[in-house]
Structure 1
């Protein structure tokens, strides 16, 4: 399914709060924070000229977040960053002075952190980031996971010392339970989705994501003309789209939000013209995108900045994973998890449909930017789907060597 953005706010200016959250100054501060992380390194921007030629476009680049901060997902940029910011702010209030990131490990700051507990709900990746951030500062983390989160993903979070709490139902059920328990116990909820009265912390999470956009824009030989970004509650899509609007203004690239057909909360919100909660149906292979209600802040941004919304099916996501693992001759392989290649799935589906291709203005001069939002965060599941282990694909990822 495909639809163009017809919302009344389309192409209007960002809300001032969102412009401040996602602007150049805020993004530069995120990168400064990252410079204090011991395991920080810029993630690769992978050019796929063979695939671009195959699809009749000028260029396809993939920002590969499967290498981010040892967590294998773009979410590493959000939750941990928000935790660190919140600790610094709390320390500043208690100590009566501004506390800079450079003093994060000062004894008096660590003493404050030890009194704090950070909670969140997760499909896997966001929880890892929050737990890692809490471990980094010496705080406690309580991570709520729903019934569909695999044991392997739970173990990957628990290794950071987090308390793991299982919740019956869906991701959205775990979000509500995490908020309820955190309120009762006085914990700080660090969610990547937002609801009425709860916007600032999800805004910090989204702010963390701007680092990947700045890195990509510095490396691209020319600005992109088209961007396809996958969506769960909408945080990564809104962060990228919002930052691109602030960077390029009216000359911004055409931006398409890609949803799983089985969990298309942004698509249905765009169709309705207002945030909607969709019914829970069959699970999707795109596990990190299985969300049934959008973030209010993300929708506020995307209603203004997204040009189109589309859905992809299960087989589309699997085809994209396999395409990236076994690329066109001459291209590098990319290890993309079940949700990681969904932007590419959207691109391939759009190009295959002449009407959609024309609506998006994709032609021989188009320069496409995609984000691999996760690597093989569940290696067993990855090998089951792709037929190759992530290690084999990674070992053969040098340009020109077929996977």
Structure 2
């Protein structure tokens, strides 16, 4: 399903939104993140896939590869540590902590009894656990029934205490809030709810790093015309779109929101004109996007900036995973997790649908950006879906790079 958003506008970034999230704050977050040892020092690659672009009939397909952000394997490494740093600075102003010292663990003794908690589908919890371990505070993570044991073990490896429930993601959010209230812990969530917006704002602000790096990589090249973004609760999309909206104003790209048909909370928000709940089972192979309720805070940024909302099926995500993994003569093979490919799957759906590309203004001159938000964060799941391990794909990627491709259309970070 695909709908145009009647509330989408072409105007300068509103001052009311800038007071909440801004390029200035995003750049500050980026500078702080550069001091965390668990993030790679360089920006993640921005790859052009010219053969895929030719297949889809567009001028360029650009993939921002967040699988290479850190050992944590996903874009979530940009959100949780920033939120935790800002939380600690607000909670202990008398200590005069610095972001650098916190990320380097220099105040671990002072934070030994400070406890945070969050619900997660996997990646946010892993990033929060790693950040808490780096800073020396305690971390509890609530997992719902559909989170794999593989993802649970990856989170526990960073010292987090795991709490399992039998419900879905939204019920795990409720459980985390209840446990926090009962034990005087602090929730560090990437979704907002009534009375809880400051920390989700900080999480989203960290995601602005992705947009900043894209702009820097393009340099003098023309800006992208379309950006296909994953759904979930809306935090990633809000962080990326708000930055690009502020940067380009009325000339911003066309934003297209993509989410699983079973977890269509953002699509339903567009239909109803307010932050809404999903109508499906909220059970998708795209585990990181299997969210039933839109973040109200994220929706404030999305309701006027996203031009189109659409849903895709699970098999479309798997097909996109396979296409990225396969690569081609001119396209580097990429490891992209099941949630990481949603934007590309949405683009492939639109191009393959009768008249849909024209409806979105996609043509031979379009330059389309998608974000691979995760690698094989659950290697067993990845191998099961593709019939090939992420290690095998990475070997082919290494061989491709070793062939010294010099095609002018190949775009690496510069």
TM-score class normalised by the smaller sequence:
over 0.9
Q: Does 1:58 find its partner at 2:59?
A: yes
How many aligned residue pairs are there? 398
Structure 2 CA distance for partners of 1:343 and 1:106, relative to 1, 3 Å: closer
Q: What's the CA shift for 1:112?
A: 3.2
Hey, which of these two has a bigger chunk of helix by percent? 1
Q: What's the CA shift for 1:251?
A: 0.6
Q: Does 1:158 find its partner at 2:124?
A: no
Contact 1:351/1:357, CA 8 A, preserved across alignment:
yes
Contact 1:229/1:343, CA 8 A, preserved across alignment:
yes
Contact 2:61/2:369, CA 8 A, preserved across alignment:
yes
Q: 2 CA distance for matches of 1:196 and 1:282? A: 22
Structure 2 CA distance for partners of 1:151 and 1:136, relative to 1, 3 Å: same
Q: 1:317 is paired with a residue of what secondary structure? A: helix
The runs of 5 or more residues in structure 2 that have no matched partner are 404-414
RMSD of the TM alignment (CA)?
1.9
Residue 215 of structure 2 corresponds to 217
Structure 2 CA distance for partners of 1:282 and 1:79, relative to 1, 3 Å: closer
Q: 2:332 is paired with a residue of what secondary structure? A: coil
Q: What's the CA shift for 1:102?
A: 3.0
TM-score (norm 2): 0.92
What is the 5 A alignment of 1:311-350? 311-350=311-350
Q: 1:51 is paired with a residue of what secondary structure? A: helix
Contact 1:90/1:112, CA 8 A, preserved across alignment:
no
Q: Does 1:29 find its partner at 2:34?
A: no
Q: 2:141 is paired with a residue of what secondary structure? A: strand
Q: What's the CA shift for 1:31?
A: 1.6
Q: 2 CA distance for matches of 1:187 and 1:336? A: 34
Q: 2:63 is paired with a residue of what secondary structure? A: strand
Residue 166 of structure 2 corresponds to 168
Q: What's the CA shift for 1:207?
A: 0.5
Contact 1:278/1:292, CA 8 A, preserved across alignment:
yes
Contact 1:21/1:207, CA 8 A, preserved across alignment:
no
Residue 138 of structure 1 corresponds to 136
Q: 2 CA distance for matches of 1:390 and 1:188? A: 36
2:187 to 186, 189, 193: 189
Structure 2 CA distance for partners of 1:39 and 1:275, relative to 1, 3 Å: closer
Structure 2 CA distance for partners of 1:245 and 1:151, relative to 1, 3 Å: same
Could you give the per-residue CA deviations for residues 325-359 of structure 1, whole angstroms, max 9, x where no partner exists? 01233210110111111100000111112422112
Residue 39 of structure 2 corresponds to 40
Q: 2 CA distance for matches of 1:312 and 1:73? A: 21
Could you give the per-residue CA deviations for residues 285-331 of structure 1, whole angstroms, max 9, x where no partner exists? 11110011100011111001101100111111010000000123321
TM-score (norm 1): 0.94
Q: 2 CA distance for matches of 1:153 and 1:103? A: 29
Q: 2:110 is paired with a residue of what secondary structure? A: helix
Q: 1 CA distance for matches of 2:351 and 2:58? A: 10
Q: Does 1:116 find its partner at 2:107?
A: no
Q: What's the CA shift for 1:261?
A: 0.6
The runs of 5 or more residues in structure 1 that have no matched partner are none
Q: What's the CA shift for 1:232?
A: 0.5
Q: 2 CA distance for matches of 1:102 and 1:299? A: 32
Q: 1:111 is paired with a residue of what secondary structure? A: coil
Q: 1 CA distance for matches of 2:346 and 2:103? A: 43
Contact 1:376/1:390, CA 8 A, preserved across alignment:
yes
Q: 1:133 is paired with a residue of what secondary structure? A: helix
Q: 2:108 is paired with a residue of what secondary structure? A: helix
Contact 2:260/2:312, CA 8 A, preserved across alignment:
yes
Residue 147 of structure 1 corresponds to 145
Larger displacement relative to structure 2 (72-81 or 390-399): 390-399
Contact 1:36/1:102, CA 8 A, preserved across alignment:
yes
Q: 2:193 is paired with a residue of what secondary structure? A: coil
Q: 1 CA distance for matches of 2:141 and 2:238? A: 24
Larger displacement relative to structure 2 (351-360 or 286-295): 351-360
Residue 128 of structure 1 corresponds to 126
Q: 1 CA distance for matches of 2:138 and 2:167? A: 25
Residue 407 of structure 2 corresponds to none
Q: What's the CA shift for 1:277?
A: 1.8
Q: What's the CA shift for 1:400?
A: 7.3
Residue 242 of structure 1 corresponds to 242
Residue 80 of structure 1 corresponds to 81
Residue 70 of structure 1 corresponds to 71
Residue 104 of structure 1 corresponds to 102
